[in-house]
Every structure is written in C-alpha cells, then in structure tokens.
Structure 1
Amino acid sequence: MNRVTQQFAFSKRNPDLPIMGAAYAKTDPDIMPFAYGFPAPQAFPIAAFQEASQSALLLEGTRALQYTGGPGQKQVQAWIAQRSPLRGIKPEEDQLIVTTGSMQAFDMVTRVLTDEGDEVWVESPSFFGTIRSFITNGLNIRSFPIDEDGLCVDELESALQKAEQTGGKMPKLLYIMPNYQNPSGATLSFARREKLAKLALRYNFYILEDDAYVDLSFSGEYLPSVYSFAPKRVVYISTFSKIIAPGVRMGWAIADSQVIERMKLFKSDGYTSVFVQEVVGQMLQKMDYTAHMNRINEMYRSRRDVMVTELRRVFGDQIDFQVPDGGFFLWVRFPEGVNTTEMLTHALECGVSFLDGQNFYLEGVDGTRFARLCYTYCDEESIKKGVAALHEAWRRSHSLR
C-alpha cells in the first residue's frame, strides 16, 4: 500500500484486522466446510417461498413493490409479537422494530447506547463479528469467561463491585448470547439470567441479548429471556436467518419504546425490504411453523449426534467438548500445545475447514487450543469424512512438534 493510500484512503476507525477465516476462501467442493456457520440447504422452505412470492405479487400487486409496501410488514410484526411470549416477552407495537438482519439491529443498538471510548463487556469466547464491530466503533472491550452454564455471572459481579469501589470504568453495555452460544454452544442457566438482570438494574448498564439460535432447541424447552427479568435494561434481538433462510436478511429488536425510537434514527437503509416482508409475511401466515421447526431440529440433532459420535470414536479422550442442546456448533478443545491456527493449514490440505479458536477471544486471551465446528451445514456422510480429515490434520500438526 503506498503512502497516499495509507494516509487518505481508509478511515482510522478500521484497524488492521485479518479477513475472517482463510477457510472461507476455499470453494473446493471436496473440502468439508465445518467453518461455515450456515443452516442446511435442506432446511429452506423452497415451496413455501415460491407460493408466498406469487401470492405477494398476485394479491398485493404494485403495493408489494412500492416504497410503502402492503400488509406484510404488519404480518411480520404480529408474528414476532405472538411468538415472543414463549420467551416471557410481550412487546407493544412501539417496542418492536424489524431490521435488515440481526447485525443491523446490533449496529443500531451500539450506536444508540454507546460512544467512542465507552466500556463494553462480552463473553469469552464471543462471536467474532461483535468483537470486530465493537473494535471498529472505538469501544473498550473486557471479556468474562463462560462455563457449562453460560456466562460466569459471579465474576462479572465481582468486577462491577470493584469498579464501583475504586472508581473504575463501568460497562455501558454487556453483550450476551444466552441460548446455544456462538461458539461455545453453552446455555445460560435460569439462575444466572435472573441474577444478570438484577445486576443490570443495580449498576445501571444495558444488556444486548442476542437470541439468534433460540428456536433451534433439540429438547423443545425454553428458558425465559433475560429481557423478561428487566425489560427496561435489556435490548432483545433475533433473526429469521436461522429459522427461515439467511438470504431474506431480516431480524428484529425488542426494547423500551424510547430505545426503539432512537434506533429508528440510525436505520441507514430507511426500512427493511418491504417486498421481502410481504413474502415472509405470507409465509408466516400460511406455513405450519411448528412442523417446520420440528423437521429442522430433528435434522440438526441427528447431524450433531453423528459429529459427536465420530469425534469421540476417532479422537477418544484427546479432545474435550460440551454437547449442546441446540444451535449450530461444537466448541472443541485440543490437547495442550496444539495451535489450531497452525492446524488449519493442514486441515485444508486434508479436505476440511473449521474456525480456529483465537478468532473468538480478545487480544491477550489464549484461544489457540480451540476450534469451532459447525454440524448443521454438512450431511451425515460429509460429517464423517470431515471428522476423519480433521483427525489426519491433527496427526500431521502433532507429528511436526
């Protein structure tokens, strides 16, 4: 890069972060893409999309293609409002906004609730997309560990108490994924949800509750949202990407009406595609959503079980992981001395990809023993081949030490 480009072309808000995942650049069909955090193509309701698209045009005509759209926007909002009580949420109309994907909701919340230099706290490990977004927004990030019951709330409480006593920086925002967390797969326990909400009220910070995977529950059981314990201190976001299709680029946020009103000011696209909302609105009105999710969850449960069985068979006690009750991912810990960033090179040569663990940690926190494996995208035979290739990659990297 020449000096002129360095000085004038790029914003100083954009640090030198590597492009995520060399694995993503590999399009070879012979590589098993455990790196992808993608839903299974077989999960997409193609027939329902076709019917809904035709209905949107036949019934609404030009309204479906106009700036203002037809009834689809209200249908989508009504569906979200009707499903929300399963999480202990009962939003009013002015407490809900439909967004262009949940990441837009995340960006809007960050803009509304934080300023450059503010303190934000996250789980460790945490979704790399949010870490990067916080960094580019000039926020100071502090992380707290996760165990099998999710975020270690006692450690967070101790940090809050110390900051209060010493005049240290308090968080403006805490970002969490309470259900089937990305990447760990952990679910926050009921007791910790309740305590976390009380801490937000006591210490006057907001919680951004990202519930992207909540409907991917293999047991069919739901814990109440953190929002349900402190609706004035939590912004709840979710997405259609995991339950309908990521290509629709639709999500939503639920929060106090004053927060939602301010979020609208930062909705850079003005509105989420009204035609897509017409199509999705038609689908949600007509489809048997429960049957749809039962089919998806049965498929994902089966794929998870195959990956778990193969990993245990091939690696034995050389690796460790928690078996999640839903979501997309297994979070695998390799033996001491393994560096999964280095191992990824061997994995791609052997025909499998994954995301190396360091991507999910802040600088200074060692995640080199970990790897995130997605079990939803590949079919069962591909999973078996991928695990065998992963073992060969581990063997090669192990033999070089």
Structure 2
Amino acid sequence: MVDWTRRMARRARDGGDPLGGILALANAEGVLNFSGGFPDPSLFPTGELGDITRRLLDDDPGVALQYAPSNGIESARHAMIDWLSDEQGHRAADDELMITSGGIDAVTLIARTMLDPGDVVLVEEPTYLGAVSGFAAHDPVLRGVELDEDGLDVGALGELLAAAPVPPKLLYTIPDHQNPSGRSLSEVRRSELVELCRRHGVLIVEDVAYRHLGFDGTASPSLWSIGPDVVVQIGTFSKVFFPGVRLGWASGPAEIVAKLAVAKQNSDQCAGALGQRMLEEYLRGGLLDAHLPKARALYRDRAAAVDAALRAHFAELGEWTAPAGGFFTWVRLPGVDTTELAAEAAEHAVAYVPGAGFFAERPDAEHLRLSFSRIEVPEIEQGIAALGAAVRGLGSGARR
C-alpha cells in the first residue's frame, strides 16, 4: 500500500482542520450548539427566493444557468456597487469590485495574489480562524496585534510597524462585531489605522462579515470608505442572505482586484451565476434592506439571553464580552484549558469552539467562543447552565 500522506505537500501534512469540526455540527441534533456562526434558518427568505428563482428560470436561463465571468456578472456587480454605495457612502468604480464565493474565497484569493513565502501578515489576536488557515497555507510569517475594548490596538500596531525592518504585506482586520470577540473598532481608531497603514505601505484587508448586523442598525464608517486607496474590503452575504449561495465581494484598488480575478480563474473560475442573479434581484427589490431589521432583532434577543445566562452561571468563573452586533460572545475562564473542557462539555451535550485556534502567534487556551446565532432563547439558558456544570465538574488535571 502506498502511504499517500508522505506524498502530500507539507502544508497538507502539517495543517489541521480548523473549520471541519465546526461545519460538521451545522445540522447536528441533540446538541446545545454554540459552535459555528450559522445564520438561523428561520430567516432564510424562502418565499421571495422561490418567486425570484422561477422568474429567472423563465426569463433569464441563458445567464442564470450559465458560467459567469471570473469577476462576476456585470449586472450583479453593479447591484452590489449600488448597495454598498448607499450603505457606506463610497462608490466603487466598475473595475474596483469583484464577486467572490463567500468571504473565505476572498481571503484565499488575496493570499494567493499578495503573498510570497516569508512575507509578514498582521492579524488581530484573536481573529477568525478561517483567515488564519487561509493565509498560513501560503507560508507567511503571521504576527498578532492585540485587541482591547476599543478593538485593534492601533498604538501597539504603530510600535510593531516602527520596529519592523521590512513593512508587512498586509493587515487583516474585522472592525465590526469581530469574530470571535464581538468587539468593534472605535471610530477614532479607524481613521488612525488607515493613516498608519498608508504611511507604512501596508494593505488593509477589511472583513465586514458582520457589519450589517449591528443590533441598533447603526455602523461606524468602514475602513474602505475612509481609505479606498489602501483598503481591500471583503464581505459575505452568507450571514444576511443565506450561506448555501456562497457569495461575497472584494472591493479595493483596481490593480489588486484585477489580479484577484485572475487568481479566481485558477480556483473555482467563477461564483455561481444563479446565485448571483438571485442576489441581484433581491438587492434591486430592496428585500435585503427590509429583511435586516428582523435579523438584527432576533440576534439581539439571543445575545441578551447569553449575557443573562452567563451572569447567572459564570459570574464567579470568568469574564465575557457583551457584543453590540454579530454572532459571538468571547468568554475567558482563567486557569481552564478550554480545549480539554470541550470533551467534558460534550458529556453535557454542549458544543462550543475552544479559543486556541483563533490565535495566530500566541495561542491562548483560556478562551472559548459562544455563537448565539442558531440556538433559540430557551436552549441558551439550558446550554449555559450545562456548560457551567461542565466547568465545575472538571478534574484538577484540566486546570493549569
């Protein structure tokens, strides 16, 4: 028998599977599931999508059922440009936006386009584990920049950049309702961050996956609207439309977007045309704007339930963030290895994501991420209570 593992590339042999376990729980039953950032299926616009799909199949099969250009169907791109312009106050030129197959596709396209082995990539510490693995596949040096209550520590970033012998290639940041911490970058820091990276020639990759899910419906200026010359904004419709369609965008300097489109020709070639046309019709009809308040209200109620349950069951065990939007609460349990705790939690039929995988440079096992997006309010209290029991039930070997 051939040992195929020995024939694999080093990145495949040595790499883990940070998202596989989370995605495996997408449709799990019998589990109080705080793991993945899955939107609630009750929000999927099935009625409107049925009408749109039937219309496209009748009137536009030659486009909707065909291959699409690598940068996206022109009319769908223009619909996205219009929507982003209305929402962020900055309008991309026609050659400054492309359609991607979700947010992670944009990450991998940027990594493939911008990075040579050994290049330095800055990420928030902690940050989205899918981005960490997406960048790591291209053999960069990953450096972490700490977060505080106001988001990315721009002062610490400035010190890092001043001491760097060669400017880092790029900085990846999630400024709105960050994954996993739930924190947002303050408005003052946004301008400071753009100016700092402009001065040092560092490309900002701004991930706005949760920007449109602020519980009060407001949002600070995007980094892209402040500094379109130094920012590539990437986004996804998986959280606010539906994830099965796998659609997102990348918008930034035209010379970068053009190369991202070339890179896409060597990956999946194009995002699905039917999904693009469905989304275009949904945006043009004002249906997404009408849908977002309902989504915000549902997730706001669930975040409040998580906070109340943590106050009831974790007050003496640790600390946690109180997000103003998005899907996640970030919990710190001093002295507890949350990777080991996961097995004990599973015995109580509770699933969450241990924190260590969210750190690119300095792993921290005392944190865990709770996603409240797909678990209903009555189950939240039950799940947090069970998780508290799991923490208390840990043997001395699980504590450092």
Q: Normalising to structure 2: TM-score of the pair?
A: 0.93
Q: Distance in 2 between matches of 1:211 and 1:28?
A: 27
Q: Distance in 2 between matches of 1:5 and 1:220?
A: 51
Q: Distance in 2 between matches of 1:19 and 1:258?
A: 33
Query: Please, which runs of 5 or more residues in structure 1 have no aligned partner?
Result: none
1:378 pairs, out of 375, 379, 390, with 375
Equivalent in the alignment of 2:147: 146
**Displacement after TM superposition at 1:399 (Å):** 6.2
Higher deviation after alignment, 263-272 or 93-102: 263-272
Does residue 112 of structure 2 align to residue 111 of structure 1? yes
Q: Distance in 2 between matches of 1:33 and 1:169?
A: 44
Change (3 A) 1:159 1:63: closer
Q: Distance in 2 between matches of 1:15 and 1:6?
A: 7
**Displacement after TM superposition at 1:59 (Å):** 1.6
Matches for 1:112-261 after TM superposition, within 5 Å: 112-163=113-164, 168-261=165-258
Q: Distance in 1 between matches of 2:63 and 2:84?
A: 28
Change (3 A) 1:115 1:291: same
Matches for 1:90-101 after TM superposition, within 5 Å: 90-101=91-102
Change (3 A) 1:305 1:194: same
SS in 1 for 2:49: helix
**Displacement after TM superposition at 1:28 (Å):** 5.2
**Displacement after TM superposition at 1:67 (Å):** 2.9
**Displacement after TM superposition at 1:24 (Å):** 5.5
**Displacement after TM superposition at 1:382 (Å):** 1.5
Which amino acid letter does the alignment assign opposite residue 159 of structure 1?
L
SS in 1 for 2:48: helix
Which amino acid letter does the alignment assign opposite residue 397 of structure 1?
L
The CA RMSD measured in Å over matched residues stands at: 1.9
Q: Normalising to structure 1: TM-score of the pair?
A: 0.92
Deviations 1:355-391 (A, max 9, x none): 001111135x241111100001111112122111111
Equivalent in the alignment of 2:330: 331
**Displacement after TM superposition at 1:17 (Å):** 3.2
SS in 2 for 1:19: coil
Change (3 A) 1:15 1:209: farther
Deviations 1:16-63 (A, max 9, x none): 233337565567522111012111111111111111110111121344
Q: Distance in 2 between matches of 1:394 and 1:40?
A: 27
Equivalent in the alignment of 2:288: 289
**Displacement after TM superposition at 1:75 (Å):** 4.0
Contact 1:87 1:223 in 2 (8 A): no
Q: Distance in 2 between matches of 1:278 and 1:300?
A: 28
Change (3 A) 1:118 1:15: farther
**Displacement after TM superposition at 1:15 (Å):** 4.7
**Displacement after TM superposition at 1:3 (Å):** 7.7
Matches for 1:25-104 after TM superposition, within 5 Å: 25=24, 29-67=29-67, 73-85=73-85, 86-104=87-105
Q: Distance in 1 between matches of 2:149 and 2:381?
A: 26
Matches for 1:7-22 after TM superposition, within 5 Å: 7-8=6-7, 10-20=8-18, 22=21
Change (3 A) 1:355 1:160: same
Change (3 A) 1:34 1:207: same
SS in 2 for 1:180: coil
Change (3 A) 1:282 1:370: same
Percent identical among aligned pairs is 33
Which amino acid letter does the alignment assign opposite residue 301 of structure 2?
S
SS in 2 for 1:77: helix
SS in 1 for 2:98: strand
Deviations 1:253-293 (A, max 9, x none): 10111111111110122221112212222222235322200
Higher deviation after alignment, 349-358 or 386-395: 386-395
Higher deviation after alignment, 215-224 or 274-283: 274-283
SS in 2 for 1:397: coil
Contact 2:216 2:296 in 1 (8 A): no
Q: Distance in 1 between matches of 2:23 and 2:239?
A: 19
SS in 1 for 2:104: helix
Deviations 1:313-355 (A, max 9, x none): 1222422112111000000111x21111111001011011000
Q: May I ask how many residue pairs the two structures share in their alignment?
A: 391
Q: Distance in 2 between matches of 1:199 and 1:308?
A: 35
Q: Distance in 2 between matches of 1:121 and 1:325?
A: 25
Q: Distance in 2 between matches of 1:63 and 1:123?
A: 40
